[in-house]
């Protein structure tokens, strides 16, 4: 079963797309209207990273394996993120609304935030700049409200027809050339390429950045 969204289920590696430095890992399970993603990042990627398939042994990890790995590999002031990604696909009806177009901002569903166990996501706000989501010949877009060093952040991803979840296929995220003065402007830009097979993903992120390992990762 394929779960649509940014990531494939299970573990993936996150690397610097220019230097191939290992930046961290992510682990994804199906939940709610899409995915619950857990990210362990050793430093802030600064909106420049690549998501790639894990090693053969990591590909077999359970959630408990992931939690042990986080405890063993945590570095002081690393980032840990719980991110609920809700996926909306072109032409599909969600809560009585058929997504033949992306709803205007005032009618967009609210993002969902996961419960933080015991109680910073991979993108940062760019003051109007959009992010490119690159895969082979396809290009998606992403828009960010707040960022990794904030307690919470929201990401809006517009993924093109034919997009394959990162971990199945290579995905690179980089600062793009387009700009959006607001979320409403971003939605207008996305409408121009919205069509069969397109997906709009809204991700609510709870971000942790501290010396101690997060509780119950």
92-104 pLDDT, tens per residue? 999 999 999 999 9
3 assigned to some structural domain: no
Q: Is residue 148 part of a domain?
A: yes
Residues 142-173: tens digit of each pLDDT: 998 888 888 889 999 999 998 888 888 888 89
Position 36 pLDDT exceeds 80 = yes
Q: What is the pLDDT confidence band of residue 193, given thresholds at 50, 70 and 90?
A: very high
Nearest 5°: the CA angle 163, 6, 214 is 165
Q: What is the pLDDT of residues 41-75, one digit of tens each?
A: 999 998 899 999 999 999 999 999 999 999 999 99
Residue 1 has pLDDT above 50, yes or no: no
User: What does the pLDDT read at residue 121?
Assistant: 43
Residue 177 is assigned to a structural domain of this protein = yes
Q: Show the domain range for 59.
A: 10-210
User: CB–CB of 39/26 below 8 Å?
Assistant: yes
* Beta carbons within 10 angstroms of residue 213's beta carbon: 19
**Overall number of domains in the chain:** 1
Residue 162 forms part of a structural domain: yes
Residue 123 belongs to a domain: yes
pTM of the model: 0.86
What is the 3-class SS of the chain, one letter each residue?
CCCCCCECCEEEEEECCCCCCEEEEEEEEEECCEEEEEEEECCCCCCCEEEECCCCCHHHCCHHHHHHHHHHHCCCCEEEEEEEEEEEECCCEECCEECCCCCCHHHCCCCCCCCCCCCCCCCCCCCCEEEEEEECCEEEEEEEECCCCCCEEEEEEEECCCCCCECCECEEEEEEEEECCCHHHHHHHHHCCCCCCCEEEEEEEEEEEECCCCCCC
Confidence (pLDDT) at 2: 42
- pLDDT (mean) for 99-112: 94
* Residue 1 falls inside a structural domain: no
How does 142-169 read in b/e, with b if 16+ C-beta sit within 10 Å? bbbebbbeeebbbbbbbbbeebbbbbeb
Residue 174 lies in a domain: yes
pLDDT at 15 over 90: yes
* 4 belongs to a structural domain: no
Per-residue pLDDT, 117: 52
Confidence of residue 80 (pLDDT cuts 50, 70, 90): very high
Per the structure block, which two tokens stand in for 195? 């069509």
**Segment 7-33 mean pLDDT:** 94
């Amino acid at each position: 079963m394929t779960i649509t969204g940014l990531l494939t289920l299970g573990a993936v590696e996150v690397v610097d797309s220019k230097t191939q430095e290992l930046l961290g890992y992510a682990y994804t399970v199906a939940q709610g209207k899409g995915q619950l993603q857990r990210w362990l990042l050793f430093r802030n990627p600064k909106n420049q990273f690549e998501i790639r398939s894990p090693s053969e042994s990591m590909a077999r990890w359970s959630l408990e394996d992931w939690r042990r790995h986080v405890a063993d590999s945590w570095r002081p002031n690393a980032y840990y993120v719980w991110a609920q990604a809700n996926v909306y696909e072109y032409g599909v009806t969600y809560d009585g609304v058929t997504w033949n177009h992306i709803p205007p901002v005032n009618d967009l569903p609210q993002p969902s935030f996961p419960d933080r166990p015991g109680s910073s996501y991979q993108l940062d706000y760019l003051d109007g700049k959009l992010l490119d989501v690159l895969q082979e010949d396809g290009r998606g877009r992403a828009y960010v409200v707040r960022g990794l060093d904030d307690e919470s952040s929201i990401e809006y991803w517009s993924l093109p027809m034919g997009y394959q979840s990162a971990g199945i296929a290579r995905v690179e995220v980089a600062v793009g050339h387009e700009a959006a003065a607001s979320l409403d402007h971003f939605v207008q830009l996305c409408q121009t390429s919205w069509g069969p097979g397109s997906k709009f993903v809204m991700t609510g992120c709870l971000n942790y950045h501290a010396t101690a390992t997060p509780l119950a990762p």
